[in-house]
Amino acid sequence: MCRLVAITSDKYFSPMENVLALETMKEGHDGSGMGLVLKNLGGEFENLKEFPVLSAICSKDGMNALDSYMDRQGFKPIHTWTPKIKPVKGVQARDYYFARVYDYPPAIKDSPKEEKEGLLLKTRVALRAMGEADESIIVFSFYPDVLSLKEVGDPLELSEFFSLHDAPLKAKIIFAQGRQNTNYAINLYACHPFFIQGYFSMTNGENTAFVPIREYLTSRGNPGYIGYNSDSEVFTHILHYICRDLAYPLTYYKDVITPLKDSEINNRTDRDAVRLLKMSLRPLCIDGPNCVIGAAPDGATFMVQDSKKLRPGVVGGVKGQYGLMSEECGLDSAIPERDKSKDIFPMKYDMVIISPDAGEVKVWNQLHG
């Protein structure tokens, strides 16, 4: 089962904290890869928050193709971060790893946010399509203030490979997943956390409803609903569909993926709406043992799970820094100074939501709405 480490804080911190927490949970992942997504970036990105960051891996040819495509679209690069690659045994280095900050094309500079986000999505999807066949371009995210880094290998070795310990890379929200590659051939696009337009999430468990959910999402007509190299990529897209396309408040994500029984719905004050949602979004019910840790564009992070998840994740921390993890030992490593008795193990009706800047932890109970 994959190991998941999400940390949200009011101060900038290094992804090494996530990597070390993953290391304590080592038994759970097989070292077949690590995914990192950083949000609310610090360091050299701190003053570039309104500009989109393209996180990608390219071969030499891919790099040329990417540059000329971005140039044609009118995106001007204003800053590039590349990890200092240290050769590590067992990790096959690719030509270019980078996160590049772009200025918007002049034509769209003053357009509303939605339009800009649409263009970013379209560009990311186009780049992905360009390099998909020969893996010359692998692109994870293209969005302001978000950076992704993924590679095949053991998390600790990868942190050495990317020199994360002495990199000035810092952020206020960092998600990391140590992969347990059980279902599919190793593919970087199958590596969590998955990202779309400011929403990202990572999961462990088994998604038995993958095919119907994928079919439902892909038939929504959103150009970003593609990929699905992993059976849990759909969870991120459901989040995006619910909160962005349908504009429902975040808590309804829980109502959609793990709907209440009819008898339970009657206790809710918004029962009429919940009942309609359950019917109408029936294909998005996850119906399997899954724990989902996710983040919304405003910086809120959350954890939910299906009732069949026998070992729940854990949320705990101190004011200003909270961890959402798949195992308690990871939390001990990341935030040892917390009051352990206040740790939250969300059960089947719970959705733990941490407000932006790790200010407040709320356990929202689905039964009571």
Partner 1 sequence: MEPASRLDQNHELTFREFPYIILWREDRCMRCGKCTAVCPVKAIEPAVSLQRLVKSEDSVPAPSLVRSITHVVKQVTDIERYCTGCGTCTLVCPTAAIMPEYNPFNKFLFYKNRGGEPYRRGGRRNDPSASTLDKLKFTRISMLTDPALDAGRHEFYIRTLLGRIPPADKLPVKAADGRLIVDKGEFIPPVREIYPIMIGSMSVGALSPPMWEGLAMGVAYLNEAEGLPVVMCSGEGGMPPRLLKSRFLKYFILQIASGYFGWDEIIHALPHMKEDPCAIEIKYGQGAKPGDGGLLMSYKVLKLIAEIRGVPKYVDLASPPTHQTKYSIEESVAKMIQSMSMAWGFRVPVYPKISGTKTAQAVLNNLARNPYAAGLYIDGEDGGTGAAYNVSMDKMGHPIASNLRDCYLDLVKQGKQNELPLIAAGGVGKTGNLAANTAALIMLGASAAAMGKYIMQAAAECFGDEYNRCSLCNTGRCPRGITTQDPKLYRRLDPDKVAERVVEVFKSADIELRKIFAPMGRSTQLPIGMSDGLSVGDKEIAERLKIDYAC
Q: Which residues bind partner 1 (CB under 8 A)?
A: 1, 182-183, 205-206, 208-212, 215-216, 219-221, 245-249, 251-252, 259, 261-262, 269-270, 272-274, 276-277, 279-283, 285, 287-289, 307-308, 310, 369
Query: What are the CA-CA distances from residue 196 to residues 103, 128, 139, 192 (Å)?
Result: 19, 13, 12, 12
User: Which token pair is 144?
Assistant: 């302001």
Taking CA 179 as the corner, what is the angle to CA 173 and CA 182, rounded to the nearest 5 degrees? Answer: 145
Q: Where are the alpha helices (DSSP H) in 224-360?
A: 233-240, 252-257, 262-265, 271-280, 328-334
Neighbouring CB atoms inside 10 A of 44's CB total 16
Can you tell me the distance from the alpha carbon of 227 to that of 152, in angstroms, rounded to the nearest whole number? 18
The candidate with the shortest Cα–Cα distance to 193, out of 184, 185, 201, is 201
Q: Find all residues with CB under 8 Å of 5, minimum gap 6, and list them.
A: 18, 21, 22, 25, 175, 176, 177, 178, 323, 325, 326, 330, 334
**What is the dihedral angle through the alpha carbons of 176, 177, 178, 179, rounded to the nearest 10 degrees?**
-150
User: Which token pair is 278?
Assistant: 């359950």
Beta bridge partners of 364: 351
Angle between helices 60-73 and 113-132 (to 10 degrees): 150
User: Which token pair is 367?
Assistant: 């039964």
Query: What are the CA-CA distances from residue 266 to residues 249, 269, 270, 348, 364 (Å)?
Result: 20, 8, 9, 17, 17
Peptide bond into 193 cis (omega under 30): yes
Beta bridge partners of 362: 353
The candidate with the shortest Cα–Cα distance to 350, out of 335, 337, 362, 336, is 362
